[in-house]
């Protein structure tokens, strides 16, 4: 299949300032294009630039050079009001859920809808449906502090999906979860792609989980894309860092710091 | 241009000299930027009344008792010292006016400002700092919500509204504290209050209360700025909280000096 990419990154450079004044490259000439209705997994070691890539796609940070095209529009030069129009079509599941502590589960899920001034009855109905779909019925009035890690992750997913986004970005959705809950989250991501036709970008370390859900796998290493393709193609690639990562070996080109 | 890991630093040899200066301008620039962005939402009527009222409760309830106690006792101590001196010079009739004017113009607004900076400015920095390091502020942005509109504007408005209210109540507490100790020093309450009525004008009271409004603006701006620029986890939240109180208190004293300089008729002193 080949259609217009819904997300496209062109020659992205991004670096951060270190305390000693030096700059460290996080992404170095990274390009990728993501097709609609697919699950795209980005893997790599800690500090390889995976989360930075997601944050660029959400417009939370801007690259030093290069273009980030969402729905064909370069968001790097957009002002906040224009960027917000695009963000309304996107959902973001944060690594540590990032639920609002001061709001209940129901208020967290309905937050974006409430900001859009949707009718209360409609918000309540969407929240109840999402809680039901994610196995969280009856938790509307709980506070995030009363939930387990797995519940928080599912509430974060519900919040990201509440406004029916076309794109969902997941930052390590399975971090800190047991294998059963990881499987539940994976199945939910597959369900969202199949039923709601969302385009999904999933950042993860979990090779088993990635191979279960991915239509396409990418690997970042030291800010550069070292592998990209369908899971069956990628697992055959003879790239040393990829081989070491997939086999989970401590010896190899990936330096353990 | 992106530099690779391990490349030579960009800084010039004299750049450390400019570090503190550039930090100050960065801080000041961020405050101005936050103020203008907040003002833009206020001008367009993008104000959450519900959130502002909730914040008014936080600022008022949190600071009122502390302000009453601190200003009350400050008034009492001021009356104690001044009563003794005034009685020595046979000017007991001036005690109420002297203490009342000091409380209205300086003690009540400034001490209330310090209390609100310590109690509410720090709470704002801690709450927003915690939200920043746990990515809740980023979550707001991804849901097309401006953190300035949602978090900062209600806090600024609430603090600006509550400061004159808290300061005026604290001022009354200060006056009562002063009348009690003045009485202990030998100045009757009747004399004290008559002196207060004769010397302290409505203009003095208003001048004191009006200057608490910029204090409120600065306390909230600094608290929110420190919170929204927090990094480095729990340690960063602690640092943001402390610096909100330190910078907030300094801002109050500096602003107080310039407002007093502008409003005080210095020419009358020279004559």
- With contact defined as beta carbons under 8 Å apart, do B138 and A94 qualify? yes
Pairwise CB contact (< 8 Å): B139 & A94: yes
**Nearest Cα residue to B75 out of B107, B109, B113:** B107
pLDDT given for residue B85 in this prediction:
86
- Whether B135 sits inside 8 A of A112 (CB atoms) is no
CA distance A24 to chain B (A): 5
Distance from CA of B244 to the nearest CA of A (A): 22
Cβ contact B141–A58 (<8 Å): yes
Interchain contact B54–A (C-beta under 8 A):
no
DSSP letter for each residue of A218-251: EEEETTEEEEEE-HHHHTT---HHHHHHHHT-SS
Please check whether residue A24 touches B, CB under 8 A: yes
**CA distances (Å), B164 to each of A149, B68, B116, B202, B244, in order?**
44, 13, 11, 14, 21
Q: What is the pLDDT of residue B248?
A: 96
CB-count exposure of residue A46 (10 Å: 0-12, 13-18, 19+): exposed
Across the beta sheet with A65-70, the strand order is A23-34, A7-17, A65-70, A73-74
Can you give the pLDDT at residue B2?
Answer: 39
Question: Which structural domain range is residue A134 located in?
Answer: 104-163
Cβ–Cβ under 8 Å, residues B200 and B97: yes
* Per-residue pLDDT at A97: 92
Spatial separation of the C-alpha atoms in residues A220 and A41, rounded to whole Å: 11
Residue A71 CB: number of other CB atoms within 10 A? 17
pLDDT of A149 over the 60 cut:
yes
A95 has a chain B CB within 8 A of its CB = yes
A13 touches chain B (CB under 8 A): yes
Give the span between the Cα atoms of B254 and B31, in whole angstroms: 16
Establish if A170 touches chain B: CB-CB under 8 angstroms.
Answer: no
Q: Which tokens belong to A95?
A: 């690594």
A21 touches chain B (CB under 8 A): yes
Q: Enumerate the H helices of B44-152 as residue ranges.
A: 49-88, 95-102, 108-116, 122-133, 136-142, 147
Contact at CB, B138 and A85, closer than 8 angstroms: no
Q: Do A99 and B3 touch (CB under 8 A)?
A: no
**Whole-Å CA distances, A193 to A39, A157, A183, A198:** 7, 13, 16, 5
Q: What is the mean pLDDT of each run of 10 residues along chain B (271 residues)?
A: 41 61 86 95 92 94 94 95 86 89 95 96 96 96 95 97 97 95 89 92 92 96 96 92 96 94 68 51
Contact check, Cβ <8 Å, B9/A21: yes
Q: What is the pLDDT of residue B8?
A: 39
Contact B9 A24 (CB under 8 A): no
Q: How many structural domains does chain A have?
A: 1
Does the residue A150 lie in any domain? yes
Which of A15, A92, A96 faces B142 most closely, judged by CB atoms?
A: A92
Predicted local distance difference test score (pLDDT) of residue A46: 86
pTM of the entire predicted model: 0.88
**Does residue A153 fall inside a structural domain?**
yes
Q: What is the DSSP letter of B118?
A: I
Distance between CA atoms of A7 and A4, rounded to whole angstroms?
9
Query: In this complex, do B144 and A84 lie within 8 Å of one another by their Cβ atoms?
Result: yes
Contact with chain A for residue B8, Cβ under 8 A: yes
Q: In the structure encoding, which two tokens stand for residue A49, read together?
A: 């630039």
Question: What ipTM, to 2 d.p.?
Answer: 0.92
Q: For residue B9, what pLDDT is reported? A: 43
Partner residue facing B9 (CB), from A15, A22, A59: A22
In a domain, A157, yes or no: yes
- The answer, for A65 touching chain B at a CB cutoff of 8 Å, is yes
| Structural domain contains residue A120 | yes
Q: How far is B144 from chain A (nearest CA, A)?
A: 5
Residue in this structure with the two tokens 């070691």, named with its chain if needed: A45
Q: For residue B48, what is the nearest residue in chain A, using CA coordinates?
A: A115
Is some CB atom of chain B closer than 8 A to the CB atom of A90? yes
Bridge partners of A90? A167
Q: What's the pLDDT score for residue B15?
A: 58
Measured between beta carbons, the chain B residues lying within 8 angstroms of A85 are: 144
What does the mean pLDDT of chain A come to? 92
Residue pair B211/B261 in contact by the 8 Å Cβ criterion:
no
Q: In a mutagenesis test of the B interface, which of A19, A20, A22 is the best target, namely the one with the most B β-carbons within 10 Å? A: A22
Residue entry with tokens 């310090």: B114
């Amino acid at each position: 299949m080949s259609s217009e990419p819904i997300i496209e990154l062109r020659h992205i450079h991004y670096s951060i300032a270190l305390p000693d004044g030096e700059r460290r490259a996080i992404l170095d000439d990274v390009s990728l294009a993501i097709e609609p209705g697919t699950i795209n997994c980005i893997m790599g070691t800690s500090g390889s630039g995976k989360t930075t890539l997601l944050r660029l796609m959400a417009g939370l940070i801007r690259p030093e050079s290069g273009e980030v095209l969402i729905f064909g529009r370069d968001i790097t030069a957009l002002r906040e009001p224009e960027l917000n129009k695009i963000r309304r079509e996107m959902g973001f599941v944060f690594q540590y859920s990032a639920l609002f502590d001061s709001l209940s589960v129901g208020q967290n899920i309905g937050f974006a809808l409430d900001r859009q001034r949707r009718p209360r009855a409609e918000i309540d109905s969407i929240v109840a449906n999402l809680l039901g779909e994610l196995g969280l019925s009856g938790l509307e009035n709980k506070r995030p502090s009363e939930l387990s890690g797995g519940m928080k992750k599912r509430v974060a997913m519900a919040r990201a999906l509440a406004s029916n986004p076309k794109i969902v970005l997941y930052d390590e959705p399975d971090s800190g979860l047991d294998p059963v809950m990881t499987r539940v989250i994976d199945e939910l991501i597959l369900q969202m792609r199949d039923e709601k036709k969302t385009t999904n970008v999933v950042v993860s370390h979990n090779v088993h989980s990635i191979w279960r859900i991915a239509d396409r796998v990418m690997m970042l290493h030291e800010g550069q894309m070292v592998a990209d393709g369908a899971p069956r193609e990628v697992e055959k690639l003879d790239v040393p860092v990829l081989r070491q990562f997939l086999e989970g070996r401590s010896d190899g080109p990936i330096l353990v710091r | 241009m992106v530099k690779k890991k391990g490349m030579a630093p960009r800084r010039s040899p004299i750049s450390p000299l400019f570090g503190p200066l550039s930090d100050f301008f960065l801080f000041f620039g961020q405050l101005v930027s936050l103020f203008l962005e907040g003002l833009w939402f206020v001008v367009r009527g993008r104000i959450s009344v519900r959130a502002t009222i909730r914040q008014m409760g936080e600022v008022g309830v949190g600071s009122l008792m502390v302000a009453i106690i601190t200003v009350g006792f400050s008034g009492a101590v001021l009356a104690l010292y001044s009563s003794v001196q005034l009685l020595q010079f046979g000017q007991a009739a001036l005690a109420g006016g002297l203490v009342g004017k000091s409380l209205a113009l300086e003690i009540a607004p400034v001490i209330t400002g310090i209390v609100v900076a310590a109690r509410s400015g720090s709470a704002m920095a801690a709450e927003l700092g915690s939200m920043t390091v746990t990515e809740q502020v980023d979550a707001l942005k991804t849901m097309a919500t401006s953190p300035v509109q949602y978090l900062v504007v209600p806090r600024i408005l609430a603090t600006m509204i509550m400061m004159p209210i808290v300061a005026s109540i604290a001022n009354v507490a200060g006056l009562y504290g002063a009348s009690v100790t003045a009485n202990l020093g030998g100045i009757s309450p009747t004399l004290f209050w008559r002196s207060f009525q004769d010397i302290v004008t409505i203009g003095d009271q208003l001048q004191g209360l009006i200057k608490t409004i910029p204090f409120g603006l600065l306390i909230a701006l600094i608290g929110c700025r420190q919170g929204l620029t927090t990094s480095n986890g729990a340690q960063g939240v602690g640092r943001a909280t402390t610096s909100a109180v330190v910078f907030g208190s300094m801002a109050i004293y500096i602003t107080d000096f310039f407002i007093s300089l502008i409003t005080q008729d210095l020419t009358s002193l020279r004559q």
